[in-house]
Chain A
Amino acid sequence: MARLIETNTEPMRSVDVDVVTLDLVENALRNARYEMDEVLFRTALSPGIREQHDEFPLIANHEGKMMVGQFGLSIPDFLDNFDGTIEEGDVLLTSDPYSCGAAISHANDWLVVIPIFFEGRIVGWSAMFGHMSDVGGKSPASMPTDARTIFEEGVVIPPFRLYKAGVLDDDALRIILNQVRKPDWNRADLNGIVAACRTAARRVQELCARFGVDTYNSALDALLERNYRAMKVLLAMVFEEGRTLEFTDYICDDGLGYGPYELKLSLTRTGDKVLLDFTGSSPQAQGPINYYINENLVRMFFGIYMITVADPQILWNDGFYPLVDVEIPDDSFWKPTYPAALNARNHGIGRVFDLFGGLLGQTNPDLLNAAGFSSSPHFMYSGNYGEGDRKGEWFQLYSIGFGGIPGRPIGDGPDGHSLWPSFVNIPCEYLESYYPLRVERWETVTDTGGAGLHRGGNAVEVAYRFLEAGTIAIHDDRWLTYPWGVNGGEPGARSRKWLDRADGTSEVLGSKVHDVPVQPGDLLHFVTWGGGGWGDPLARDPELVSLEVRRGLVSAEGSRRYGVVCDEAGTVDADATTALREELGRDRPSPLPTFDMGPSLETILEKSLEETGLPAPRPPIVR
Chain B
Amino acid sequence: MTYRLGVDVGGTFTDILLIDEETGETHRAKTSSTPEDQSVGVLRGIERACAAAGVTMDEISEVFHGTTVATNAILEGKGARVGLVTTDGFRQVLQIARSFVPGGLAGWIIWPKPEPLAALEDTVEVVGRIGADGSVVTELDEDDVRRKLGVLATQGIEALSISLINAYANPDHERRVGEIAAELLPGIAVSLSSSVLPELREYERTITTVANAAVQPQVKKYVANLESQLVDAGVDGKLCILRSDGGLVSAGVASDNPVNLLLSGPAGGVTGATWVAEQAGFRDFLTFDMGGTSTDVALVQDLTPRVGRETTVGDLKVRATSVDVRTVGAGGGSIAHVPELTQALRVGPQSAGASPGPAAYAAGGTEPTVTDANVVLGYLPTDLAGGEITLDREAARAAVKSIADATALGSVEAAAAGMIDIVNENMFGALRLVSVQQGFDPRDFALVAFGGAGPLHANALGRLTGAWPVIIPPSPGVLCAYGDATTNLRDESVRTLVRRFDELSDDSLLEILQELGAASRETLAKEGVAEADQRLVYSADLRYHGQGFEIPVTIDIDSFDGSGAGIAALRAAFDVEHERLFSFVLDNEHELVTVRATANGPRPEVAAPVLEDGDGDPAAALVERSAVWVEGAEVEAGIYDRARLRAGDVVAGPAIVTEMDSTTLVLPGHAATVHPSGSLLIRPTDPPTPGHDDRKEN
User: Measuring CB to CB, which residues of chain A are less than 8 angstroms from any residue of chain B?
Assistant: 18-20, 22-24, 26-28, 31, 35, 38-39, 41-47, 50-51, 70-71, 184-185, 187-188, 191-192, 195, 198-199, 226-227, 229-230, 233-234, 301, 304-305, 308-314, 353, 367, 369, 372, 402, 405, 408-411, 414-425, 427-430, 432-433, 438-444, 460, 463, 547, 550-553
Question: CB-nearest residue of chain A relative to B421?
Answer: A20
Contact B425 A45 (CB under 8 A): no
Chain B CB within 10 A, most for which of A20, A38, A369, A425: A20
Question: CB-nearest residue of chain B relative to A234?
Answer: B341
Contact A311 B200 (CB under 8 A): no
Question: CB-nearest residue of chain A relative to B168?
Answer: A429
Complex Cα distance, B340 from A281, in Å, reads 37
Residue from the list A45, A372, A419 in contact with B546, Cβ < 8 A: A45
Complex Cα distance, B437 from A35, in Å, reads 7
Complex Cα distance, B546 from A70, in Å, reads 26
Question: CB-nearest residue of chain B relative to A422?
Answer: B100
B337 to chain A, nearest CB (A): 10
Q: Does chain A have a CB within 8 A of B690?
A: no
Residue from the list B106, B120, B129 in contact with A552, Cβ < 8 A: B120
Contact B344 A19 (CB under 8 A): yes
Contact B104 A310 (CB under 8 A): no
Complex Cα distance, B105 from A305, in Å, reads 8
8 residue pairs bridging A and B, Cβ less than 8 Å apart: A27-B425, A27-B426, A42-B582, A44-B547, A70-B105, A425-B98, A441-B89, A551-B120
B129 proximity list for chain A (CB < 8 A): 438
Are A444 and B105 also in contact (CB < 8 A) when A19-B418, A428-B165, A552-B120 are? no
A416 proximity list for chain B (CB < 8 A): 92, 95-96, 99
A230 proximity list for chain B (CB < 8 A): 341-342
Complex Cα distance, B339 from A229, in Å, reads 13
Residue from the list A26, A46, A188 in contact with B586, Cβ < 8 A: A188
Further contacts, 12 of them, CB under 8 A, given A47-B548, A184-B587: A18-B408, A24-B421, A45-B547, A50-B546, A229-B342, A230-B342, A305-B106, A308-B105, A411-B112, A438-B132, A444-B92, A551-B119
Question: CB-nearest residue of chain B relative to A432?
Answer: B132
Contact B100 A424 (CB under 8 A): yes
The 3 closest A-B pairs by CB, nearest first: A50-B548, A441-B89, A432-B132
Chain B: number of interface residues, binned into ranges: 35 or more
Contact B91 A184 (CB under 8 A): no
A439 proximity list for chain B (CB < 8 A): 89, 165
Residue from the list B104, B112, B203 in contact with A410, Cβ < 8 A: B112
Residue from the list B204, B498, B548 in contact with A44, Cβ < 8 A: B548
Are A421 and B107 also in contact (CB < 8 A) when A20-B345, A310-B339, A311-B339 are? yes
CB-contacts of B401-434 with A (<8 A)? 407-409, 417-418, 421-422, 425-426, 429, 432
Chain A CB within 10 A, most for which of B129, B137, B341, B409: B341
Question: CB-nearest residue of chain A relative to B348?
Answer: A313
Q: Does chain A have a CB within 8 A of B103?
A: yes
A88 to chain B, nearest CB (A): 17
B373 to chain A, nearest CB (A): 12
Complex Cα distance, B106 from A421, in Å, reads 8
Question: CB-nearest residue of chain B relative to A35?
Answer: B437
Are A304 and B105 also in contact (CB < 8 A) when A20-B418, A311-B342, A312-B110 are? yes
Complex Cα distance, B583 from A417, in Å, reads 34
> 1/0 per position for B98-122, CB-CB distance to A under 8 A?
1111011111111111000001110
A23 proximity list for chain B (CB < 8 A): 344-346, 422, 425
Q: Give the dominant DSSP class at B's interface.
A: loop
Contact B106 A417 (CB under 8 A): no
Complex Cα distance, B429 from A142, in Å, reads 40
Contact A188 B200 (CB under 8 A): no
Contact B105 A192 (CB under 8 A): no
A194 to chain B, nearest CB (A): 8
A305 proximity list for chain B (CB < 8 A): 106
Contact B89 A442 (CB under 8 A): yes
Contact A421 B103 (CB under 8 A): yes
Contact A45 B588 (CB under 8 A): yes
Contact B100 A423 (CB under 8 A): yes
Contact A187 B586 (CB under 8 A): yes
B345 proximity list for chain A (CB < 8 A): 19-20, 23
Residue from the list A304, A309, A311, A418 in contact with B104, Cβ < 8 A: A304
A414 proximity list for chain B (CB < 8 A): 101, 108, 111, 113
Q: Does chain A have a CB within 8 A of B166?
A: yes
CB-contacts of B533-558 with A (<8 A)? 544, 546-549
CB-contacts of B325-376 with A (<8 A)? 339, 341-346
A444 proximity list for chain B (CB < 8 A): 92, 95-96
B222 proximity list for chain A (CB < 8 A): none
Q: Does chain A have a CB within 8 A of B444?
A: no
Contact B112 A553 (CB under 8 A): no
A184 proximity list for chain B (CB < 8 A): 546, 586-588
Are A425 and B106 also in contact (CB < 8 A) when A23-B345, A230-B342, A442-B89 are? no
Contact A405 B132 (CB under 8 A): no
Residue from the list A24, A429, A553 in contact with B165, Cβ < 8 A: A429
Complex Cα distance, B110 from A405, in Å, reads 12
Are A20 and B422 also in contact (CB < 8 A) when A417-B99, A417-B101, A441-B89 are? yes
A550 proximity list for chain B (CB < 8 A): 121
Q: Does chain A have a CB within 8 A of B202?
A: yes
B91 proximity list for chain A (CB < 8 A): 443, 552
Contact B586 A191 (CB under 8 A): yes
Q: Does chain A have a CB within 8 A of B201?
A: yes
Question: CB-nearest residue of chain A relative to B203?
Answer: A427
B168 proximity list for chain A (CB < 8 A): 429
Contact A438 B131 (CB under 8 A): yes
Are A443 and B89 also in contact (CB < 8 A) when A31-B432, A424-B100, A429-B165 are? yes
